[in-house]
Amino acid sequence: MARKSCLLAVLTLLGGLSFALRGHAQAPANPATGTATTEAESDVLPGLPHPPDAPQSLLLQPAAAAPFSCAPLPGPYFERDPLLDPPETGLPGWAVGVDLAIVGPHVKNRLTDTVQVDGRPPDTLHLPSADLDWTVSPRVELGYRLPSGFGEFAIAYREMASDGSASVAGPDGAADLRSRLDVNIGDLDYISREWSLWPDWGMKWWFGLRLANVYFDSHETEPFAAAAAGSGIFDRQTSNHYLGGGPHYGLELTRQWKATGLSLVARLDGALLLGRVQQNFLEVSTTAGPGGGLVSGVTHQSNPQAVPMLNAFLGVNWNPPRFPKLLFSAGYEYEYWWEVGRLSTTLSRGEFSDQGVMLRASFNF
């Protein structure tokens, strides 16, 4: 009887344990509703990706990924904008401008060096410059203006040439002196305009590269007979040649009266060129050499040189209200080139300047 009671107690204990395990395996009841909590409701990190319950087969093709695309731009670029492209800035597109500067150039010729002709003692050669004639210096510019206030690019070429002659006192009497100046300039610039500084005021600035070629000389000739009876030298010449390139920059301010199309304009244009100076000093004697030609002596000097230059303009612009594609300018211009004939190894120096009236006309295509 005791054995049966013990067996019955063991079975009762096993049955209670089995019931407790089944109750624990079931989902707990939601205290608010009294129902069981689902797997989605028990997710402690909602919204995050979950790995699949079983790995996919390696034989299945992967699902196609969604194509990548950027968010749309806030607005159009390189399209004309009435706020960023006011009439004062010029119409977007191609533009051409022609400058005609009526100037009087002046050369400060301090070129000097020693020259030896055959077996004669060395001579110190220095010639003055004759007054150069007034000349017309043209400049042609071709540019393209971008819309939406992105600025413009321009390429330009300028040329200036002048000469002059005078009668001077040479070592053996009266002599003829002739001087020349020849300047060639090329520019490649980026230009930007601004019309929001002050009411009715505008600003334009540019930065780029400049390449310049400058040549000037003086040539003195005496009568052959007078030179043969005196110093023995009848022909003398000094010349300077500079070729260089470097940064080009400038700033222009305008004050407008829109009803008339007129505006006051002030402009500064400068460059700092890095290049080389080459100078030649020549004397020709009245003595014939072994081959029958006249004996001469030449001294050649060369060294690298930095040349700063500055151009200032003050005048008026006129933009006809009925023809906004046209722009006319007129005013006074002054320009100076420093150290363009400087030799660091000697006392030889040379500079030049020009000033006069500048007229300009530009047209937008």
Kindly state the DSSP code that residue 26 receives in the 8-state scheme: S
Asked if residue 108 belongs to a domain, the reply is yes
Bigger pLDDT: 224 vs 193: 224
Q: Is the pTM of this model over 0.85?
A: no
**pLDDT per position as a tens digit, 76-104:** 566 666 666 665 556 678 899 999 999 99
Q: How many angstroms separate the CA atoms of 264 and 269, rounded? A: 17
Residue 179 in any domain: the answer is yes
Residue 326, CB-side half-sphere exposure with 13 Å CA sphere: 8
pLDDT at residue number 46: 72
Bridge partners, residue 356, by sequence: 103, 333
Two structure tokens written together for 140? 């042609």
Digit-coded pLDDT (tens) for 255-273: 988 788 899 999 999 999 9
Asked if the structure places residue 323 within a domain, the reply is no
Classify residue 58: in a domain, yes or no: no
CA pair distance 240, 109, nearest whole angstrom:
9
Is 145 part of a structural domain of the chain?
A: no
Domain that holds residue 205: 104-130+162-187+195-318+333-353
Query: 269 lies in a domain?
Result: yes
In angstroms, the CA 352 to CA 156 distance is 22
Strands (E), the chain: 93-110, 112-115, 123-126, 135-145, 152-170, 173-194, 201-221, 233-257, 262-288, 294-318, 326-337, 349-364
The mean pLDDT value of the chain amounts to: 84
- Residue 75: which pLDDT band, with cuts at 50, 70 and 90? low
67 vs 142, higher pLDDT: 142
Higher-confidence residue of 305 and 28: namely 305
pLDDT tens by residue, 6-42: 555 555 655 555 544 454 444 454 544 445 555 555 5
Question: How many domains, the chain?
Answer: 1
* Measured distance CA(312)–CA(198) in Å, rounded: 23
**Residue 263: which of 312, 311, 320, 196 has the closest Cα?**
320
| Residue 249 domain flag | yes
Tell me if 328 sits within 8 A of 318, measured CB to CB. yes
Could you report the per-residue pLDDT of 97-149, keeping only the tens digit for each?
999 999 999 999 999 999 999 888 899 999 999 999 999 999 999 999 887 77
* 315-365 pLDDT, tens digit each: 999 988 888 788 899 999 999 999 999 998 889 999 999 999 999 998 887
Domain membership of residue 208 (yes or no) is yes
